[in-house]
């Protein structure tokens, strides 16, 4: 029941309505199947004893009505009964086929919808949320754990409901025919399943937890192996990384195999009980001094009912066992979805244009799960349409300041304001729409140059003129048209593996410029460029227009020579500020860095 409630959490209200409609179809299917099985008994009774037509009230009336339509004689009536039995069986199977299709379609589409909800929820989280998350864990949840929940959670639940409807309908039929025998048969078979389930439920939960941990480890090992393939090849580390994948992968496979074995375990025992029970039933009925012809309809009924009831009971047990196995995965998935913040998209398309200044007022920040303060009491005023630079040794807080200005991080103390407006959850999206950002490590998709410059924009909405203009400013246009075989349609490979570091950075700069931002932030964005290329790129950026505000982070001081203001950071504090010449004269640290 606990796991069922968690599965319900994963469904939207619309999906819940669809599931109730499917439940109704399952009940109709179960009733039709029961009618089909029930029709066997009178057919066999008439087949073995034609006089039964005259002694049974219902058959006698039906025979009388059939005569009006030309059914004369017991033989013709027997053929009619056989045809009706066949019609009921075919009809029930046809409805069952339709219901099965709708069930499978519903279940498989939930893999799509739950996966989509997870992607949306993850991507809508604040940047700080990702600092304590491993990307391979997120990929595992979306691509692997959702499939596990569908295959071992939702599919078994829907199967459980369908087979329960069949089992209840058939048991009700058997009780109606002979309550005493039906109760004995039902108690024996169901007791056997309950005993086996109680013996194995803790084991299923334990291997479910092992599977979850092993799956996490194997995803992580694969992600690390192929993310550092150059270092692995150079260091000859292939075998250690294969071993890192092998152990969790083996545990994962063993846990899956064990869960399937336990789920199928009772089938053979129940078959033995069932066939033995059928023999006992025959002997019991014979003991009541009834002839074999008299008991044949009941035996036929139990045989046909058992033919459908036993698989239904086995699938019910299988579903309950698998639900135990998927419990730990369901816990992790529902905890993720319930704990994630709801993102407000109201201001997605608006732009907060910078006209006056960006102010960081007494800002302090420390990263989650760390004791060291990354920034302490930072006060900065960045005038609109100015060029400012942040310099300092590694770990001084430069990138943290940029992340605060970008709205990726929220200060634990102080505030960030643009033209006097506080950058918070309500305004951050519209502020980010005005920014072009170039990180030090450029992400490139396994796609064309065009698609990478216009990242995330639909093909039909891409302006090729704007692509060329941005590429020219980033000093990448001549390389693309003169050296690449398919020019702007050339595929760059995974993470831009077919390009040099400088070429990747220039594509990143072109991407930031493509949307014509009002604020351009470059975080070590020219570190992979030679001095001449960097000079040309920076000159082109400065010539973009007087309305552009440029913020630079760099280790290379030549990059910030023309800045209006340079901020020197050390250990999370601003220790000096001014233009290049002023800092050379007044700051010993800055002077040392310039050598």
pLDDT in tens, 263-291: 666 666 666 666 666 666 666 666 665 55
CATH homologous superfamily, domain 357-593: P-loop containing nucleotide triphosphate hydrolases (3.40.50.300)
pLDDT band at 31 (very low <50, low <70, confident <90, very high): confident
Token digits of residue 42: 């009178």
Provide the pLDDT for residue 271. 63
Residues 37, 308 contacting (CB under 8 angstroms) = yes
Given this model, what pLDDT does residue 91 score?
78
Sorted by sequence, the CB contacts under 8 Å of residue 332 that are 6+ apart come out as 141, 145, 212
The mean pLDDT of 428-433, rounded to a whole number, is 84
Mean pLDDT over all residues of the chain?
76
Which span out of 189-193, 339-343, 443-447 was modeled with the highest average pLDDT? 443-447
Indicate if the pLDDT at residue 566 is higher than 70.
yes
Tell whether the model's pLDDT for residue 70 goes beyond 70. no
Indicate if the pLDDT at residue 33 is higher than 60: yes
Q: Which helix (H) or strand (E) holds 94?
A: helix 74-123
In which residue ranges of the chain is CATH 1.20.1560.10 found? 2-339
Q: Choose among 525, 516, 517, 519: nearest CA to 475.
A: 525
Q: Left (φ > 0), alpha (ψ -120 to 50) or beta: where does 378 sit?
A: beta
Q: Give me the percent of the chain exceeding a pLDDT of 70.
A: 74
User: 216: Cβ–Cβ under 8 A, 6 or more apart, which residues?
Assistant: 136, 137, 140, 248
Q: What is the pLDDT of residue 261?
A: 75
Whether pLDDT at 180 is above 60: yes
Q: Residue 342 belongs to what H/E stretch?
A: none
Q: Where in the chain is the domain with CATH 3.40.50.300?
A: 357-593
pLDDT for 344 beyond 80: no
β 413-418/357-365 pair status? antiparallel
Is residue 343 pLDDT above 60, yes or no? no
CA distance 407 to 433: 11
More confident position, 188 or 396: 396
Mean pLDDT of 449-457: 84
pLDDT at 90 exceeding the cut of 70 = yes
Q: Measured between alpha carbons, how far is 268 from 258 in angstroms, rounded to an integer? A: 17
Lowest mean pLDDT segment, chosen from 131-145, 227-241, 278-292, 579-593: 278-292
CATH number of the domain located at residue range(s) 2-339 in this protein: 1.20.1560.10
Burial of 486-503, coded b for 16+ CB within 10 Å and e otherwise, reads eebebebeeebeebeebb
- The residue-averaged pLDDT of 539-552 equals 75
CA separation, residue 518 to residues 279, 436, 457, 524, 532 (Å): 86, 8, 19, 19, 26
Contact predicate 166/306, CB 8 Å: no
Write out pLDDT tens, residues 484-538.
888 888 888 877 778 877 788 888 888 888 888 888 888 876 666 667 766 776 7
What is the pLDDT averaged over residues 458-473? 85
pLDDT for 280 equals 63
For residue 232, the model assigns a pLDDT of 67
pLDDT tens per residue across span 134-161 = 676 777 777 777 777 787 777 777 877 7
Tell me what the mean pLDDT of segment 72-95 comes to: 75
Q: What is the pLDDT of residue 303?
A: 65
Q: In the prediction, which pLDDT does 68 show?
A: 67
φ/ψ (deg, to 5) at 406: -70, -15
- Assigned token pair, 231: 């270092």
| Mean pLDDT within 429-435 | 85
């Amino acid at each position: 029941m606990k796991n069922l409630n968690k599965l319900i959490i994963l469904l939207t209200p619309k999906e819940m309505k669809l599931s109730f409609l499917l439940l109704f179809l399952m009940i109709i299917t179960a009733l039709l199947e029961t009618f089909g099985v029930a029709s066997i008994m009178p057919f066999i009774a008439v087949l073995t004893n034609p006089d039964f037509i005259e002694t049974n009230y219902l058959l006698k009336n039906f025979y009388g009505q059939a005569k009006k339509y030309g059914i004369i004689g017991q033989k013709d009536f027997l053929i009619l009964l056989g045809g009706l039995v066949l019609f009921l069986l075919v009809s029930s199977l046809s409805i069952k086929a339709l219901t099965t299709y709708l069930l499978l379609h519903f279940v498989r589409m939930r893999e799509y919808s739950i996966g989509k909800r997870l992607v949306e929820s993850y991507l809508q989280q604040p940047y700080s949320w990702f600092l304590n998350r491993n990307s391979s864990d997120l990929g595992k949840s979306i691509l692997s754990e959702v499939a596990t929940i569908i295959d071992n959670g939702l599919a078994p639940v829907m199967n459980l409901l369908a087979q329960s409807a069949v089992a209840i309908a058939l048991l009700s039929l058997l009780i109606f025919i002979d309550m005493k025998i039906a109760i004995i048969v039902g108690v024996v078979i169901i007791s056997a399943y309950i005993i086996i389930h109680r013996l194995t439920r803790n084991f299923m939960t334990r291997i479910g937890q092992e599977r979850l941990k092993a799956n996490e480890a194997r995803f992580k090992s694969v992600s690390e192996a192929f993310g550092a393939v150059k270092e692995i090849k150079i260091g000859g580390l292939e075998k250690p990384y294969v071993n890192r994948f092998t152990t969790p992968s083996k545990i994962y496979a063993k846990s899956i195999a064990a869960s399937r074995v336990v789920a199928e375990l009772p089938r053979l025992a129940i078959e033995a009980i069932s066939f033995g029970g059928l023999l006992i039933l025959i002997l019991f009925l014979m003991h009541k001094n009834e002839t074999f012809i008299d008991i044949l309809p009941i035996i036929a009924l139990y045989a046909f009912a058992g033919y459908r009831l036993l698989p239904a009971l086995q699938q019910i047990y299988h579903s309950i066992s698998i639900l135990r196995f998927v419990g730990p995965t369901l816990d992790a998935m529902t905890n993720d979805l319930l704990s994630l913040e709801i993102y407000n998209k109201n201001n997605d398309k608006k732009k907060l244009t910078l006209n006056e200044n960006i102010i960081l007022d007494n800002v302090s920040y420390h990263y989650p799960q760390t004791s060291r303060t990354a920034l302490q009491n930072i006060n900065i005023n960045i005038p609109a349409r100015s060029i400012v630079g942040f310099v300092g040794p590694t770990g001084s807080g430069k990138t943290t300041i940029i992340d605060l200005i970008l709205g990726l991080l929220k200060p634990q103390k102080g505030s960030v304001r643009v033209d006097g407006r506080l950058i918070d959850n309500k305004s951050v999206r519209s502020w980010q729409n005005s920014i072009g950002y170039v990180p030090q490590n450029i992400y490139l998709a396994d796609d064309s140059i065009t698609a990478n410059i216009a990242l995330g924009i639909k093909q039909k909405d891409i302006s090729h003129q704007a692509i060329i203009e941005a590429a020219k400013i980033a000093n990448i246009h001549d390389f693309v048209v003169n050296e690449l075989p398919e020019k702007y349609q050339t595929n760059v490979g995974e993470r831009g593996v077919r390009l040099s570091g400088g070429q990747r950075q220039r594509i990143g700069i072109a991407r930031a410029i493509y949307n014509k931002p009002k604020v351009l932030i470059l975080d070590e964005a020219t570190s992979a460029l030679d001095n001449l290329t960097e000079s040309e790129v920076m000159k082109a950026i400065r010539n973009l227009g007087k309305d552009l505000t440029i913020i630079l982070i760099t280790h290379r001081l030549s990059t910030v020579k023309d800045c209006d203001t340079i901020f020197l950071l050390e250990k999370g504090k601003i220790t000096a500020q001014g233009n290049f010449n002023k800092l050379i004269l007044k700051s010993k640290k800055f002077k040392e860095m310039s050598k």
